A and B are shown apart, each in its own frame.
Chain A
Amino acid sequence: MRRILPFARQNRNIKTILAVSVIFSGFFTAPAHAIERVKVEVPVHEYKLDNGLKVLVKQDKRAPIAVVQLWYKVGSSYEHNGSTGLSHVVEHMMFKGTQKYPTGEFNRIIAENGAEDNAFTGQDYTAYYQVIAADRLEVAFELESDRVRNLTLPPAEFKKEIEVVKEERRWRTEDKPTALTREQFEAVAFLNSPYKNPVIGWMADLDAMQVEDLRAWYERWYAPNNATLVVVGDVDPDNVHELAKKYYGPLKPTETIPPPKPQTEVEQKGLRTLKVKAPAELPYVLMGYKVPGMVNAKEKWEPYALEVLAGILDGGNSSRLSKELIRGKEIASSASAWYSGFGRLPDLFSLSGMPTKGEKLETVKVALLEQVEKLKNEPVTAAELARVKAQVIAGEIYERDSQQNQANVLGSLETVGLGYKLADEYVDNILAITPEQIQAVAKKYLIEDTLTIAELDPQPIDPNKPKNAPSFVR
């Protein structure tokens, strides 16, 4: 389904996606890590069209298919109060026709060619993709290039589609207590950073949205010089370049695309807490610290240290949260930690947990905070660090199994402004992290003054039960 896939909020996604390509090239000597590195490099071919469109191509001949993605530099973090959800609604309307291919034609032609097709909107980007038999690549180019500039945005279609988006919002957020908690948590954790905007938009903004708003948004951001085309699969790079010139070449660039306003988050001046009441069975706690990302880190290694730190807490079944909170003390039924340094703007280091039967939410919250303190007070052990690194080394290979993930890495890095070449350095930078560096970022950034804590306060689901008494906080 046309969907939102907020990469920026899925640390594990980015972390696991960031895999470098490989062929056997011998072992590294004297491995400082638990397992041997198998390093392989498959080149990325880079082209730029005269109209500013960037084209990235990576060969993967394992199957006769191609993944074709068009990434735009626009997402919910480009939006403003009162107009949240615009990028995502444009995504929906992208399937509602151009002059050449009226409503329904896009999907019909895609199906006729047996292609898989969809799109996703995140905080920092919107991407449209096809997965298609490699010998039908041209179909994807023809359809996608046509809607870069030629959307018709029919008002009658918009009227129906905005209702679909509202249903999507009800389904995704309003009826899911933990999703609802997360949405409010982000809105409180950020005062003025646009990462406070829900990707799908606030319901009131959807109610008020007009097709003219979409037209203005479309005209402003959807241009070849604001996009990157990524192709991964059984393709010839120069052939892809020729096809790109043929279909995308004639598109006019937009003269000036004013960069988004900085909307730099104001400094947090102390702990923030909130409660979310919703019909639910289980309480839930979600907390987040303000941390730097790749874009603003003064020390280049810090985001990598935070990545590894997240892995120490929650990288697999042997990590600390599983071992100590779910097993060990047996206080949590679930516990997680994540961080992504790959956003356009600085983001959060988050922790969350759900108590197990008979345990209080407070116990889980305290235990999560204790885990943070422990990271500050003691260096992680060599064995723990080796395990996290072993997973990164193996993940580098496993992630190559998915052609789509390979394309996601290139497209997302390029679109947030970090550049796709960062993927080549990722594993090396992770492997260079020391216990002292992990301790240092814990001490520097995981501090109460920049912390936000949200608690889900479950309200009865059974309509015959009385609602919880209102609680007042002084």
Chain B
Amino acid sequence: MLKKIVLAQLALWLVVFASFAQAAPKIEHWTTANGLRVYYVPAPELPMLDLRLVFDAGSARDGAKPGLAMLTNSMLDKGATGLSEDQLAEQFEAIGAIFSSSTSKDMATLGLRTITLEQEQKAALDLWLKVIAKPDFPQKDFERVQKLTLVGLQAEKQDPASLGGKAFYQALYGDHPYGQPENGTEETIQALKVDDLKAFYQQHYVAKNGLLAIVGAVDRTQAEALAEQVAGVLPVGEAAAPLPEVKALTAAKTVKIPYPSAQAHILVGQIGNKRGDDDYFTLYMGNQVLGGSGFTSRLMKAVRNDRGLSYSVYSYFGPLAQLGVFEIGLQTKLEQADEALKVVQDVLGKFQQEGPSVEELEASKKDITGGFPLRTANNSQIVDYVGVIGFYHLPLDYLDTFTGKVNALTREQITEAFARRVQPDKMVTVIVGGDEK
């Protein structure tokens, strides 16, 4: 009896270890004294370190001032503790360190990459902490960033893909914060003041509203010390309140934007899913077959391989903190726009009704599970994953359990989820290109 139990336990351990050895990095997690969540993956092989601070301070937090989150984030390295942008850039680059920053709908991210030689690492970290904790928001630099943002908005007007993407989000989300452009509009950018940015920074760039990801050649003790140092420069603050829920579309909508391009840029879609959504895996797997797997997907076969209508055609679910997008996209020469759109609608309609075939599902499972080691093969990829897992409070074993969840899915579950969550008769369609009709 006893022997049996021991063996059973041993078997269990073997399974656990086998899946570890197979690929997924082991994520260690703790919270610092003042409430900053930390996620750490040791990567001792190369003498380098990636740090990433992520705050719940993306454009969804813009409120009535679209562009606020993005400008706030991009102003941090424009001057800190009296050092100018020139000086900050010179000091980072003199030690081969790379400072990075970015904003998306949900997140504001600050990154640092450095080599782990003692002096360089210390200097890089000190400088990074200045930028995080003591930005000056100089008025003159703010005005320049404002001007560059306006040029960016102008540049979008010569890019039909950008025009289409913006119109698509606006049509899908309406008044919801996700519908507002991340880089604002001419009016909102011009109306922003330095004080708006300072207030946004003070409220959102705080310990309880963020997380720190650490990936690199530091051990646990060093990682803990690093985390305390980073947390030490942040006020405790408050986590941001949950975003409002997204309302589903009630009717189909088509937006046509005339444009003197050779191709029509077409986007078709709907409200999609959330991170941690109950239907996440079913929708993800279904979409692999529909248009997510590249050359073997149904959309690629129908639009590109069988008819030569487009160079690229894809579909994806872009899960966010609240419901993200479900999007199908392609570009084709103007004369074929209607034909291509019809093919997309037919493929989607059929898939929504019938789901994947048994063969397609099996093939997709093999694709995803076989390809798993590729996704966490280097530090850049790992720090990306860790940031997402931490930000959306996904389980720490998310990567370990991923393939198991995928393999357990049935055709019926996927078909049911698509039938329930995708309504082909209530799609938003955006077409950029051609004359006004």
Q: Decide whether A and B are members of one complex.
A: yes
The size class of the interface chain A forms with chain B is 35 or more
* Cβ B89 vs Cβ A356 within 8 A: no
Question: Which parts of A378-411 form the interface with B (CB within 8 Å)?
Answer: 383, 386-387, 390-391, 393-395, 397-398, 400-403
CB of A267 closer than 8 Å to a CB of B: no
Q: Which residues of A contact B308 (CB under 8 A)?
A: 159-164, 167
What 6 new A-B contacts, CB under 8 Å, besides A63-B378, A111-B295, A160-B308? A35-B117, A160-B306, A164-B310, A170-B331, A398-B113, A458-B158
Residue in B85, B89, B157, B295 with the greatest tally of chain A CB atoms within 10 Å:
B295
Judge whether B429 is part of the interface by a CB distance below 8 angstroms.
Answer: no
Q: Which of A236-244, A295-303, A314-322 sits within the interface?
A: A314-322
A38 close to B (CB within 8 Å)? yes
CA distance A328 to B331 in the complex (A): 40
Considering the chains assembled together, what is the distance between the CA atoms of A115 and B363 in angstroms? Answer: 12
Q: A318's contact among B89, B159, B261, B296, by CB below 8 Å, is which?
A: B89
Q: Report the Cα distance A287→B155, complex, angstroms.
A: 21
Interface locus among A75-83, A171-179, A256-264, A438-446:
A171-179
Return the contact of B23 from the options A63, A315, A386, A393 (Cβ within 8 A): A63
* A-side contacts of B278, CB under 8 Å: none
Partner of B380, one of A171, A326, A402: A402
Encoded as 1 (CB less than 8 Å from any A CB) or 0, chain B from 188 to 209 comes to: 0000000000000000000000
State A394–B48 Cα separation when bound (angstroms): 9
Q: Bound state CA distance, A463 and B307, in angstroms? A: 31
Stretch of A276-284, A336-344, A361-369, A428-436 on the interface side: A276-284
Q: Pick the residue among A1, A326, A387, A400 that contacts B93 (CB under 8 A).
A: A387
Identify which of B332, B369, B436 contacts A114 (C-beta below 8 A): B369
Distance between B211 CB and nearest chain A CB, rounded to angstroms: 22
Q: Is the CB of A403 within 8 A of B260?
A: no
User: Are B96 and A394 touching (Cβ within 8 A)?
Assistant: yes
Q: Are the C-beta atoms of B258 and A383 separated by less than 8 Å?
A: no
Contacts of A425 in B (CB 8 A): none
**A5 close to chain B: CB less than 8 A:** no
Query: Assuming the A-B contacts A36-B120, A107-B296, are A136 and B370 also in contact, with contact meaning beta carbons closer than 8 angstroms in the complex?
Result: yes
Give the docked Cα–Cα distance between A170 and B47 (Å): 44
A62 contacts the other chain (CB 8 A): yes
For the complex, what is the distance from the CA of A54 to the CA of B380, rounded to whole Å?
A: 31
Contact across chains for B370 and A133 when beta carbons are under 8 A apart: yes
Interface size class, chain B:
35 or more
Q: List 24 A-B contacts (CB under 8 A).
A: A35-B120, A36-B119, A36-B120, A63-B373, A107-B296, A111-B364, A114-B369, A115-B374, A133-B371, A167-B311, A167-B332, A168-B311, A171-B312, A281-B155, A282-B154, A316-B93, A318-B86, A323-B86, A327-B85, A333-B148, A333-B152, A383-B90, A391-B96, A394-B96
Contact B151 A327 (CB under 8 A): no
Interface flag for A207 (CB, 8 Å): no
Query: Is A131 on the interface with B (CB-CB < 8 A)?
Result: yes
Nearest-Cβ distance from residue A382 to partner chain B, whole angstroms: 11
Is A104 at the interface (CB under 8 A from chain B)? yes
Indicate whether A374 reaches chain B with its CB closer than 8 angstroms. Answer: no
A377 at the interface (CB under 8 A from B): no
A-facing residues in B280-315 (Cβ within 8 Å): 293-296, 304-312
| Complexed CA–CA distance, A161 and B300 (Å) | 13
Question: What chain A residues lie within 8 Å of B436 (beta carbons)?
Answer: 463
Known contacts: A167-B333, A391-B96. The answer to whether A63 contacts B377 by CB under 8 A is: yes
A160-197 with Cβ < 8 A to chain B: 160-168, 170-171, 174-177
The interface residues of chain A lying within 8 Å CB-to-CB of B27 are none
Query: Could you say which residues of chain B place their CB within 8 Å of the CB of A281?
Result: 154-155, 157-158
Residues of chain B within 8 A of A168, CB atoms compared: 311
Given contacts A1-B311, A64-B22, A401-B379, contact A131 B374 (CB under 8 A): yes
